[in-house]
Amino acid sequence: MTATPIGRPAPANDQRSAAALPTVDSVDPPEPLWGGLGGEAIDRQVHASIARLTMGLSPASLAEAFGDWAIHLAISPGKQAQLVQKAVRKAVRLWLHACECAATGAAAGPCIAPLPQDRRFVGAPWQAAPYSMIYQSFLLTQQWWHNATTGIPGVSRHHEAVVSFVARQLLDVMSPSNFLASNPELQAATLREGGANLRRGAANLLADWERTMAGRPPVGTEAFRPGETVATTPGKVVWRNELIELIRYAPSTEAVHPEPVLIVPAWIMKYYILDLSPENSLVRWLVGRGHTVFMISWRNPGPEQRNLGMEDYRRLGVMAALDAVERAMPGRRVHAAGYCLGGTLLSIAAAAMARDGDDRLASLTLLAAQVDFTEAGELTLFIDESQVRFLEDMMWEQGYLDTRQMAGAFQLLRSNDLIWSRMVRDYLLGEREPVTDLMAWNADATRMPYRMHSEYLRGLFLDNDLAEGRFMVDGRAVSLADIRLPVFAVGTERDHVAPWRSVYKITTHPAAEVTFLLTSGGHNAGIVSEPGHPHRHYRVSTKAPGDVFVDPATWEAATPVAEGSWWPEWQAWLAARSGTPVAAEPIAAASAGRARAVLPDAPGSYVLQP
């Protein structure tokens, strides 16, 4: 990798065995505060303390962005004049609209409409005076600030995006929908219930605060426990090392395709998003159609795993799982599928295997996974040199990135949906939204080892080493152009984590046949899209090796829409490449380690780690 983590970790490409993973005793202790590298250690301690207050956001990074914006705006009198003109025009526009409404005695059409995805002001009470004027004034102000934070000559694109994002977040805090005094729907509910909604909301707030302080999951998630109500597809753990448990699912058909499927989920969350409830489990659906499915379940790392890096995850995760599948089903090629960060790691492994002549893979499926990070969406707002170093210092102190620190960044990307609307519903309306299996899974987050996350942020997000041919595996760079396997890539229309135009970049590699599918939904719900799920659609097409590249906008406009789930499309693609079905065989009993201890049934033990 291009960056070396703090301290003196083992080289990224060392060949440690599974039994020799870093432990507390083998991790380098922090440098002494006085003497030697004391100054650097003090800085890190200070940065880590600040990070606990800012949820990991670097104040230096924000100050740099706002300084860039403010200085360039100060020396741009033309832009300033435009902003003054826009402010006057918007004020006059709102005043004339108010006069029209007063003259007609009825509410005219709004002078500014919310964006299609903004559902805060769609209710009928918002269309009556004075609330219509309140929310339209807010939207006009929000629009003006967008103009004020964008299009400033000389401001870097990254700083412009940061300033615009922060301004939008601050304005969303002040939205009239968030306050009882300016929200007619809240006022009506309070009058109707005699204030009982506020009493329930106060009780909800207290309960949530107590759970947060105690480190307990949100209310309602207890109903979704892996192995009981979710992650219930029958199977057994057939291999375990100190980083993964490999689950093999029991066949449910008399005949199965001879070539198995290996799924590599992301380790930022628990694996069972792909094996949720029985009715929306992708694993159960594949098994029910004659596929032999293996799934990696990642360990939830603690401080003792702080020195695990990307190479450890490749070697002890993907490659160890492939070795175990080969032992269980010798001579069979494997259809590998990776979700999110797991797909990125799987692409790295596939490129290294192609370089080294390892032909055990039959195909490659990437589910909402990026291999090129030049357009990685709003997550890149949190990625620059200052921000990455700030996170490194925070992780250096505790050995990992905490679940709450990760959740905060993801929630900010959709603050209206995930923060403010929830607070209004839970604490002012006093209503609890029923917890779903997907919501419970989302609350069951995992930690990220210090070294791995540092390498991931620097090598992939910050430097884009994989797409540009600099990512090192076993001391040599790998290239995605070496992959000759058939590729099936899935993007989701409303993905804030892996935007579909970024996922689509896999089609720029001419050596492979790439089938690209774009489905409705977001990063998680778009993937968990079982047949029969309402309001689902997708587009799909195949690019043969050597075909001319088609840009995303042109592709979207030219590709017809198909109604329904994308699962059957992928399953048919897999089945066509997985061989003629043969008689199913039961899973042999598995054991682990020198003691030959019997391994547990699915979902295993790692998924239950807090």
Which residues are part of the catalytic machinery?
340
- Helix, strand or coil, per DSSP, at residue 451: helix
How far apart (Å, rounded) are the C-alpha atoms in residues 178 and 604? 43
∠ CA 128-423-229, rounded to 5°:
125
Burial of 53 (0-12, 13-18, 19+ CB in 10 A): exposed
- Helix, strand or coil, per DSSP, at residue 54: helix
Buried b (16+ CB within 10 A) or exposed e, 165-195: bbbeeeebeebbbbeeebbbbbeebbeeeee
How far apart (Å, rounded) are the C-alpha atoms in residues 366 and 503? 9
Q: Quick one: which of 465, 387, 371 has its CA closest to 159?
A: 387
- Helix, strand or coil, per DSSP, at residue 206: helix
How far apart (Å, rounded) are the C-alpha atoms in residues 220 and 153? 50
Token pair of 98, please? 């108010």
Helical axes 131-149 vs 77-104, angle rounded to 10°: 170
∠ CA 376-377-380, rounded to 5°:
75
The dihedrals phi and psi of 355, each to the nearest 5 degrees, come to -60, -40
- Helix, strand or coil, per DSSP, at residue 312: helix
How far apart (Å, rounded) are the C-alpha atoms in residues 350 and 303? 30
Token pair of 122, please? 């769609």
- What residue ranges in 458-550 does DSSP mark as E strands? 472-473, 476-477, 487-492, 514-519, 537-543
The residues, ordered by sequence, that sit 6+ positions from 582 with a Cβ below 8 Å of its Cβ are: 255, 256, 258
195, 231, 606 from 227: Cα distances, Å: 41, 5, 12
Rounded (10°) CA dihedral 392, 393, 395, 397: 160
Q: Quick one: which of 282, 244, 241 has its CA closest to 266?
A: 244
Bridge partners (DSSP) of residue 364 are 336, 487
How far apart (Å, rounded) are the C-alpha atoms in residues 473 and 478? 7
